[in-house]
């Protein structure tokens, strides 16, 4: 009886002691874990993890290898374009050239202007339509259209206006020894864009004498083979310059 009582007393003392010991250990581990988490958070703020630093650096790394390869190809093409011709050479305007040339870099056309007996004449010159010797070899019919198709040419838009009223607009194609009139339109600047003006018949459908008279009309105003032959060479050189500048702009964009 006394032994069982002593045993219960020992157990009652041991249980609270064990609970206090276990509780104190749990509190110690929780406090240690909380302290470790806090230290980790503070340490990351003061000294970020090397792994995170590597990821951050990789996201802001240099351009992809494909871009670098593209730049090398562009540089090679620039070198070839520079070696093909001397693009710094300035075309010498021939004596008696009647027009003033306005050439803006980056545009595919140039403008010619002049005054003639109270008329304002403006010519918009487009890039040449070049034809190589192989393209010109055609075993087709020997008519005028096939012969012209085998020649390089320059598209022209010629406007002749006076102080007031409508103007004449010619669409022409300049070949080496001939200027073909493709269209003739009377344009009135007072008409709105919504109005569709009658543009007349196809120029080739006009009476032959009338066609010849309009060719003479343009020739007197400076649109003749000696003028267009110079423009042909001028536009070929401009095409080379514009292509080189285009390549350089491409390189700048890819490298940026």
**One domain for residues 38 and 129:** no
**One domain for residues 34 and 109:** no
Strand duo 179-187 + 167-174: pairing: antiparallel
State the total domains in the chain.
2
Q: Which domain holds residue 42?
A: 2-59
Tell whether 127 is covered by a domain.
yes
CA distance 126 to 108: 6
**One domain for residues 129 and 11:** no
Indicate the DSSP class of residue 207. Answer: -
**One domain for residues 239 and 127:** yes
pLDDT tens digits, residue range 10-67?
A: 444 444 434 343 444 444 443 443 343 344 443 444 344 443 444 444 444 456 778 8
Tell whether 94 is covered by a domain.
no
Tell whether 199 is covered by a domain.
yes
**One domain for residues 36 and 105:** no
CATH code for the domain of 235: 3.10.280.10
Sheet arrangement for strand 154-161: 100-102, 109-116, 119-126, 154-161, 167-174, 179-187
**One domain for residues 199 and 149:** yes
At residue 21, the pLDDT reads 39
At residue 253, the pLDDT reads 94
Tell whether 251 is covered by a domain.
no
Regarding pTM above 0.85, the answer is no
**One domain for residues 34 and 120:** no
């Amino acid at each position: 009886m006394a032994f069982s009582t002593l045993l219960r007393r020992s157990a009652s003392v041991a249980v609270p002691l064990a609970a206090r010991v276990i509780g104190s250990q749990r509190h110690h581990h929780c406090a240690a874990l909380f302290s470790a988490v806090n230290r980790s958070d503070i340490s990351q703020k003061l000294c970020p993890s090397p792994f995170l630093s590597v990821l951050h650096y990789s996201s802001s790394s240099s351009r992809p290898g494909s871009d670098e390869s593209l730049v090398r190809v562009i540089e090679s093409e620039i070198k070839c374009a520079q070696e093909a011709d001397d693009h710094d050479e300035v075309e010498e305007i021939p004596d008696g050239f009647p027009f003033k040339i306005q050439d803006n870099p980056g545009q595919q056309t140039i403008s010619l202007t002049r005054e003639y007996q109270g008329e304002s004449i403006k010519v918009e010159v487009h890039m040449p339509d070049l034809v190589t010797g192989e393209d010109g070899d055609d075993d087709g019919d020997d008519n005028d259209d096939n012969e012209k198709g085998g020649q390089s040419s320059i598209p022209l838009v010629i406007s002749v206006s006076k102080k007031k009223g409508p103007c004449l607009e010619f669409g022409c194609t300049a070949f080496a020894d001939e200027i073909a009139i493709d269209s003739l339109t009377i344009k009135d600047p007072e008409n709105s864009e919504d109005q569709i003006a009658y543009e007349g018949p196809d120029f080739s459908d006009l009476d032959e004498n009338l066609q010849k008279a309009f060719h003479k009309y343009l020739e007197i105003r400076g649109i003749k083979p000696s003028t267009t032959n110079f423009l042909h060479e001028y536009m070929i050189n401009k095409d080379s310059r514009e292509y080189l500048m285009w390549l350089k702009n491409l390189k700048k964009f890819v490298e940026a």
